[in-house]
Amino acid sequence: MGRKMARGEMLFRSFALSNILIIAIVAVMVILLGSEGVMIYIKEGVSFISTSIWSGARESYGILFALGGSIITSIIAIIIALAIAIGSAVTLSELAPQSMRLFLSSLTDLSASIPTVIYGLWGLYILAPAVGWITREWIPESVRSILGTPGSIGTSLLTASILLSIMISPFATAMIREALSSVPRSIDEALYSLGLTRFEVVVLKLRYIRRAIATAMMIAYGRAVGETIAVSMVVGNVVNPEFWRILSPGYTISSLIADQYQNAESYNYMVPAIFGAALVLFVIGVMINIYVTLITRGQRL
C-alpha cells in the first residue's frame, strides 16, 4: 500500500515535467527571437526600422514601410471594429428579441472560429474587387492623388483594414457584452427611473464600461497587428514607402514575413531580416500586453 501511494505521488509529480516543458519552450522562443532578431540590427543599424527597402539582390533591408503598414492598417481596423462591436454588443445584449439572441450571438461567436485563410480568400475575391470598384467610381481623382489607388484586383492597405475589422469585431463584441452584463441591475433600474430613454441608458452604460471597451480595443489591436494570412492575401504585397497612402497596396510586417518564406533562405541576410521584423512585431505585442496589464490592474471593470 505504501509503495503504491508513493508511485502514484511520483506519477503526479511527473506531470510537472509538462509545465516545465511549456515554460522552457516559451523561454527558448523568446531567447531565439531576441538573439536571431538582433543580428540584422548589427548589420543594418537603426536604418533597419527607419528606411524602406527590401532587396535580397542587394542584401539591403529596412522595414519602415511594413511597420507603418502594420500600424496604420491596425488603427483603421480597430476604429471600424469599435463601431461594429459597440453596435453588436448593444444589439445582442439590450435590443434583440430574447428568442433571437442565442442564434445571433452564436453566429458572432462562430465567426471567430472560421480559419483566417478563408477570410483571406473571401477578402481577395469578394471584398477587394468591391473596394476597388468603389474607389474607382466614387472617390474623386483629387483624393486618389493623395491617398493612392488600389492594385488591379482592389488590393490595398484599406482593404486589409476592412477585412481585419470584420475579423476582430466578434472578439471585441464578446468582451464588450461581458462588460455590459457586469453592470449592476440597480444602475439600470436607477437610470430608467430617472425617466431616461432607452438610448440614453445605453449611452450611459457604455460610458460606465469605457475602460473595459478601451482594454478590449487594445487587445484587438494586438491581434490585428499579428494577423498574417488574411492580410497577406488582400494587402497587395508591394513595398510602399508612402504607407500613409492607404488606398495603395502595401505590406504589413506579418504579411512581409509570410510573403517571403519561399525565398528567404536563398539570400545571406534575409532570414536574419525576417527574424528582425518578427522581433519588432513581438515588441509591439509585449508593449500592448504591459499597457493592458497596467490599466486593468485593480479595476472593477
- 8 is a contact residue toward other proteins (CB under 8 A): yes
Amino acid type, 17: L
Do residues 210 and 71 touch, judged by C-beta distance below 8 A?
no
- 221 is a contact residue toward other proteins (CB under 8 A): no
- 39 is a contact residue toward other proteins (CB under 8 A): no
Rg (CA), the chain: 24
Q: Cα angle at 112 between 124 and 127, to 5 degrees?
A: 20
- State which residue, 133 or 199, has the beta carbon closest to other proteins: 199
Among the listed ranges 24-32, 50-58, 131-139, 186-194, the one in contact with other proteins (CB under 8 A) is 24-32
- Write out the binding residues for other proteins, residues 177-196 only, by CB under 8 A: none
d(CA 176, CA 216): 7
Amino acid type, 75: I
- 210 is a contact residue toward other proteins (CB under 8 A): no
- 228 is a contact residue toward other proteins (CB under 8 A): yes
- 287 is a contact residue toward other proteins (CB under 8 A): no
Out of 74, 135, 156, 173, point to the residue binding other proteins (CB under 8 A): 173
CA 239 to chain centre: 21
For the record, the C-alpha cell of 45 comes out as 543599424
End-to-end CA distance of the chain: give it in Å, rounded: 51
- State which residue, 145 or 238, has the beta carbon closest to other proteins: 238
Out of 121, 204, 214, 238, point to the residue binding other proteins (CB under 8 A): 121
- Write out the binding residues for other proteins, residues 83-102 only, by CB under 8 A: 83-88, 90-92, 95
- 38 is a contact residue toward other proteins (CB under 8 A): no
- 246 is a contact residue toward other proteins (CB under 8 A): no
- State which residue, 104 or 144, has the beta carbon closest to other proteins: 104
d(CA 151, CA 215): 35
- 19 is a contact residue toward other proteins (CB under 8 A): yes
- 116 is a contact residue toward other proteins (CB under 8 A): yes
- 159 is a contact residue toward other proteins (CB under 8 A): no
How buried is 217 (Cβ within 10 angstroms: 0-12 exposed, 13-18 middle, 19+ buried)?
buried
Out of 54, 61, 65, 119, point to the residue binding other proteins (CB under 8 A): 119
d(CA 223, CA 171): 10
- 236 is a contact residue toward other proteins (CB under 8 A): no
Among the listed ranges 29-37, 136-144, 181-189, 207-215, the one in contact with other proteins (CB under 8 A) is 29-37
- State which residue, 49 or 229, has the beta carbon closest to other proteins: 229
Minimum distance of other proteins from residue 83's CB (angstroms):
5
Minimum distance of other proteins from residue 32's CB (angstroms):
5
Determine the size of the site formed for other proteins (CB under 8 A): 84
d(CA 196, CA 188): 10
- Write out the binding residues for other proteins, residues 45-64 only, by CB under 8 A: none
* Helix boundaries (H) for the chain: 2-14, 16-44, 47-50, 64-90, 98-112, 116-122, 128-138, 141-147, 157-181, 185-193, 198-208, 210-226, 229-234, 253-259, 270-296
